[in-house]
Structure 1
């Protein structure tokens, strides 16, 4: 790595080490923004072959940190990741990080931005002061918060989508990006509205982006539109109620009247496809009375029961699960703590088998899951910790039609589904990483089938299918020829055909629709929305 660069150029723009300012020759790549060079190797290791990466550091770091990053860059190049030049050191002073990161983004014009957790987890509790103890360097959180703000401003200025992801420091990059993420990418981000038109929703730096079919089952799409809303942290949860209305959930970080930062869960509703969304409302925070504790809240998981009650679940400060319920008349219950087992940042909510609701959580200290459920809407919550599911982190997804889960087995990375009375059934597909999307009720040669979509080798989208309710019949996976920078989505259109959606490496939505008369499962060529 080159030596320490200039503090900043004459125009106030930070200069790249040993080479001055970077050229604006490239766009659409990845910018990793970290406090010091020692924070960059794990984020660099998450990048797939073919990615083009620039690294921005707030401080030059120690010789050992720079040497470690040099080693990580060399390893990444061998894997096919292009790291353009030496890191750009902005040498930021307190209070000026956001402006200098924004200048870097204007020059580098990224599609994706990676940084660390804006609200690092506590390591212990100071019992005398009754405050959480954060052992991570304070600059890490400061740089992450500045990066989110800078990316938001840059997207609004440029009009080009920017996708930010924050990662937990110390996470194992070998598990993949979904396992290391602080804020959850949506498992289900394309849904069919009341009028039969499909809509896709993805979080960006400046807010939620929406694409909408112009005609149900047609090939034309409108978007992306940036939906009005608050300044959200990265991540999004998408859920539909029994009426087909779409509900969006996220985390908002804002300053209160006292000037202190506060994090809460927020929600809005989309009643008609392509129309303006409703106002965003706060759902609160189970640790909302303590600002320091509340900042660590996990990302929400959401589901409706058969009585129309909306259930919101989050991982709380103590690594338990907290839940709150909204009745059909709009009234909210208080937060309830579901005691029993410490959990990690991975919750999946789905309808219960007998009309209630349930939440599955990956446990914090073991490769296992715990399940809290209400068999009917009026029952109390019950903990079931007897499941034998052993998931790879970042791979849980719901199977709502059968009230269970899909996941990748921790031992082999194979895709599995839990079948009642049978146990785990392997669906194959050990390559790739992350969760599996699915849609049931798709006709394939006269059979009602479940179509599956997942990330495969180097982020390429792979598709398979099995007869509805019969995963044991086996799945044949095939590559559909496009890579996605988010987990792929699949839904049935207004004519019942399966539609695949992904976000290409150029940041544009790509779609392929099922060929209904094909001999087996086949899709049209990809089109760009």
Structure 2
């Protein structure tokens, strides 16, 4: 390898002819609402826009311009926007009919549970700056996508976008439910499992034999009402734990949104049922529905800490002791934070949480003392691009992209400044794995979406992040964040979600002394195993 950005594939090369086109449905209330969502779509997809109403003349003209620009970028644009005119009718049924004709692999829509901008103390209700119909339309789009997936058996990947998000910062910065990272997990028997969120819930694929090329799945992990996001963390024994949000209709017409948790203790066997953990504001559903997406980490003693952004935009925490008992939700207070939290296990075995501040470009850090009291530290010298924070391979640290330069950085608590990781361009958060041995040295490995939408790989000596990190383009297209894992037998695997509903994996070529990979191969099937 060379100590600079290296765009040679180095073994794992996906045939460009196999980069299949795929259909992306954009479902919105009116044409104007589709403009930012269309602007976020990279080249290669076929776009189909579905509107519940005709909107204004200006909105239709703006969408026409956005679609023309998408075509210039390299997107295929289907026929003009479909207007369903669903006033007074069954919106979900009408959307399902439209999606059947479109056959989308991915779906972009709005936020079903947007955050408030103020609070009416007289009525005791949150005040939002968008039409109420936008949230209903997003919820109906999710319901239709879920029904389509269960009907066809083909996963539908959904992205819900925040209102008024800055599209110039990329798609990852606009998401209500964050992209999962580190979603590839190694089991005790040497087999790997991949977990990904879809419209109908989490799907998994797993190896049939240790280090083998045959995979089973995708299988749907039961969980009605799961929203399209996922956090995967490992306990001290290496078992994967899954965290998400579940949205449940109420008899009074409202919705309850709760944090949920499941775990997989044997590869290929059913995971535990989803356990509801409630939320920081569960006493009032109008507040509780706005809960941020959870993050979590285990300390060295096996205690689990779950964190989420609460209604007041500070951080709340719930703790499960190693004996299985749960504490109530605890509000930490402090700085108002955005929906971007990363929990980490420190080198000393404790747990800390870092969050991007809502009103500034900074990052706040919360840590607990020996008595369990939490303290806020606002002195981190970081300016993080939204949607790019992730745990570092080294304990206690984080990875992110710089707000201004978009270059990758690593940071450890106590450091005077973050460490640059080369000049690699790209988008979204990176995933990381440590303990990769090559040429007699041990390295940390990063994988992320590169500037051309392909899987990019970065390497640096373990424990020594710096500007000499080596970067390579592995060639395979990547939607979302790629993942990497070292199995219990020591073999390195990289995985990425590609067009056509495929999960691609590349195993390290053990015959080569350097970091080379076999060809990309499809893992599992396209359709769900029912």
TM-score range, shorter chain: over 0.9
Q: CA deviation at 1:262?
A: 0.7
Q: 2:107·2:159 contact (CA, 8 Å) conserved in 1?
A: yes
Which position in structure 2 is the counterpart of 1:439? 433
Which position in structure 1 is the counterpart of 2:400? 407
CA offsets, 1:19-48, max 9 Å, x none?
xxxxxxx99410000000010010001101
Q: 2:21·2:46 contact (CA, 8 Å) conserved in 1?
A: no
Pairing 1:130–2:124 present = yes
Which position in structure 1 is the counterpart of 2:173? 179
Q: 1:179·1:393 contact (CA, 8 Å) conserved in 2?
A: yes
With the length of structure 2 as denominator, give the TM-score of the two structures.
0.92
Q: 2:393·2:434 contact (CA, 8 Å) conserved in 1?
A: no
What SS is found at the alignment partner of 1:428?
coil
What SS is found at the alignment partner of 2:149?
helix
- The 5 A counterparts of 1:191-230 are 191-230=185-224
What SS is found at the alignment partner of 1:410?
coil
CA distance in 2, matches of 1:375, 1:83: 56
CA offsets, 1:51-86, max 9 Å, x none?
111000000000010111111111111111221121
What SS is found at the alignment partner of 1:457?
coil
Q: CA deviation at 1:352?
A: 2.5
Which position in structure 1 is the counterpart of 2:5? none
With the length of structure 1 as denominator, give the TM-score of the two structures.
0.93
Q: CA deviation at 1:514?
A: 1.1
Q: CA deviation at 1:401?
A: 2.7
CA offsets, 1:101-120, max 9 Å, x none?
11111110000010000012
Q: CA deviation at 1:353?
A: 3.3
- The 5 A counterparts of 1:122-271 are 122-271=116-265
CA distance in 1, matches of 2:436, 2:505: 17
Which position in structure 1 is the counterpart of 2:83? 89
Q: 1:444·1:516 contact (CA, 8 Å) conserved in 2?
A: no
- The 5 A counterparts of 1:385-396 are 385-396=378-389
What SS is found at the alignment partner of 1:506?
coil
> RCO greater where, 1 or 2, for CA within 8 Å and sep 6 or more?
2
CA distance in 2, matches of 1:481, 1:269: 33
Q: 1:217·1:494 contact (CA, 8 Å) conserved in 2?
A: no
Pairing 1:465–2:459 present = yes
Q: CA deviation at 1:260?
A: 2.9
Aligned length: 503
Out of 398, 418, 440, the position equivalent to 1:424 is 418
Q: CA RMSD in A?
A: 1.5
- Runs of 4 or more, structure 1, over 6 Å off, are none
Q: CA deviation at 1:423?
A: 2.5
Stretches of structure 1 lacking an aligned partner (at least 5 in a row): 1-25
CA distance in 2, matches of 1:261, 1:222: 35
Q: 2:247·2:257 contact (CA, 8 Å) conserved in 1?
A: yes
Q: CA deviation at 1:387?
A: 0.4
Which position in structure 2 is the counterpart of 1:277? 271
Which position in structure 2 is the counterpart of 1:380? 373
CA distance in 2, matches of 1:83, 1:431: 27
Q: CA deviation at 1:355?
A: 1.8
Which position in structure 1 is the counterpart of 2:8? none
What SS is found at the alignment partner of 1:517?
coil
Q: 1:357·1:375 contact (CA, 8 Å) conserved in 2?
A: no
What SS is found at the alignment partner of 2:43?
coil
What SS is found at the alignment partner of 2:474?
strand
Which position in structure 2 is the counterpart of 1:73? 67
Which position in structure 2 is the counterpart of 1:397? 390
Pair 112,186 (structure 1): closer, same or farther in 2 beyond 3 Å: same
Which position in structure 2 is the counterpart of 1:501? 495
CA distance in 1, matches of 2:88, 2:135: 12
CA offsets, 1:334-371, max 9 Å, x none?
11111110000100001133221110000001111000
Which position in structure 2 is the counterpart of 1:55? 49
